């Protein structure tokens, strides 16, 4: 790694070099595990509820001519400032590329200088899964044992990894994907890795016959019908994260027209014990997930601290 990278510009003689960590996916995979990510994300929800974060709305750069978009997600949390620059290109699978590609810059809020520049794609996948795990921990029935997945891509993998951390009594996992080969591959890979009984199903309705239903699709039309969801079910709706996307039938969400007074609270309020989560075993609970920068930066901070402890190579930003 070069250590003589220089920024062009005027600098006075009092300027001091700052060490910056460069972290790729392989290093981050060794430094961040799902159990740690769940704890970090849960902590970030609590901090946000307690007013310990600053998080402006994400900025979108829409590029419909390329069938994708970019998003800038800045935040301050827990003594760290940072930004995630992430692109979402649903058709990237055609080029054997991930649909979500991200870079995270973690900075020192005391000076404004970068502490680390790291791959954000893996962190995005893990922290989104972790958020789903936190939701299941607080909202699913404690006796939940059957999980149904609609969509069998990367996010379905991290959702299951997280749920298995907070719900050790899983007995069965059903998975549906439009591409049956993808379902079969998912069942084989995740079943052997987690020692779980995972089997592909032929229809979405079969996948919804479960205690917990997880949707991880880019669908723009509702695919989960209210009539197929049993009392007591918890739903992690992960895929509909932008305008125009929809996975759940409107009737599952108070007819689709949600007023301020219809909102019970945030997951952070439940985590912070300000409001109750599930109150009985007949309720249908829904975690409608849209990624928050607090999740990314708190996980990036954890990765940075562990990397420093292990003496990961740095370079000088002069």
Q: Record the pTM.
A: 0.88
In a domain, residue 48? The reply is: yes
Domain of 313, in residue numbers:
18-124+293-317
Q: Same domain, yes or no, for 113 and 211?
A: no
Would you write out the chain's pLDDT as a tens digit for each of its 318 residues? 344 443 333 434 444 556 889 999 999 999 999 999 999 999 999 999 999 999 999 999 999 999 999 999 999 999 999 999 999 898 998 999 988 899 999 999 999 999 999 999 999 999 999 999 999 999 999 999 999 999 999 999 999 999 999 999 999 999 999 999 999 999 999 999 999 999 999 999 999 999 999 999 988 888 899 999 999 999 999 987 667 778 888 888 766 667 777 778 889 999 999 999 999 999 999 998 888 999 999 999 999 999 999 887 665 554
Q: Same domain, yes or no, for 118 and 157?
A: no
Active site residues: 84
> What is the number of domains present in the chain?
2
Q: Same domain, yes or no, for 188 and 258?
A: yes
Q: Same domain, yes or no, for 276 and 300?
A: no
Q: Same domain, yes or no, for 153 and 281?
A: yes
Q: Are 166 and 34 in contact (CB under 8 A)?
A: no
Q: Same domain, yes or no, for 50 and 147?
A: no
pLDDT recorded at residue 240: 72
In a domain, residue 134? The reply is: no
């Amino acid at each position: 790694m070069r250590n003589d990278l220089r920024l062009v510009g005027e600098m006075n003689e009092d300027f001091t070099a700052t060490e910056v960590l460069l972290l790729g996916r392989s290093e981050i995979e060794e430094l961040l595990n799902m159990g740690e990510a769940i704890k970090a994300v849960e902590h970030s929800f609590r901090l946000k509820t307690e007013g310990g974060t600053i998080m402006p709305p994400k900025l979108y750069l829409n590029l419909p001519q390329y069938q994708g978009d970019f998003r800038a997600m800045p935040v301050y949390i827990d003594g760290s400032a940072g930004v995630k620059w992430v692109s979402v290109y649903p058709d990237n699978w055609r080029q054997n590329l991930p649909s979500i590609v991200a870079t995270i810059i973690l900075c020192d809020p005391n000076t404004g200088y970068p502490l680390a520049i790291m791959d954000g794609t893996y962190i995005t996948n893990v922290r989104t899964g972790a958020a789903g795990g936190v939701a299941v921990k607080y909202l699913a029935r404690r006796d939940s044992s059957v999980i149904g997945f609609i969509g069998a891509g990367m996010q379905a993998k991290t959702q299951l990894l997280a749920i298995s951390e907070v719900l050790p009594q899983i007995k069965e996992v059903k998975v549906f994907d439009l591409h049956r080969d993808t379902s079969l591959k998912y069942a084989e890979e995740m079943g052997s890795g987690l020692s779980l009984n995972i089997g592909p199903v032929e229809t979405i309705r079969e996948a919804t016959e479960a205690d917990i239903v997880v949707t991880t699709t880019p669908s723009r039309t509702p695919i989960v019908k209210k009539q197929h969801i049993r009392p007591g079910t918890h739903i992690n709706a992960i895929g509909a994260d932008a305008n125009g996307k929809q996975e759940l039938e409107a009737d599952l969400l108070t007819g689709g027209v949600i007023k301020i007074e219809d909102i019970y609270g945030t997951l952070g309020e439940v985590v912070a014990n300000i409001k109750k989560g599930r109150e009985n075993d007949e309720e249908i609970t829904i975690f409608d997930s849209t990624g928050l920068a607090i999740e990314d930066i708190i996980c990036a901070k954890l990765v940075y601290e562990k990397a420093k402890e292990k003496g990961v190579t740095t370079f000088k930003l002069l």
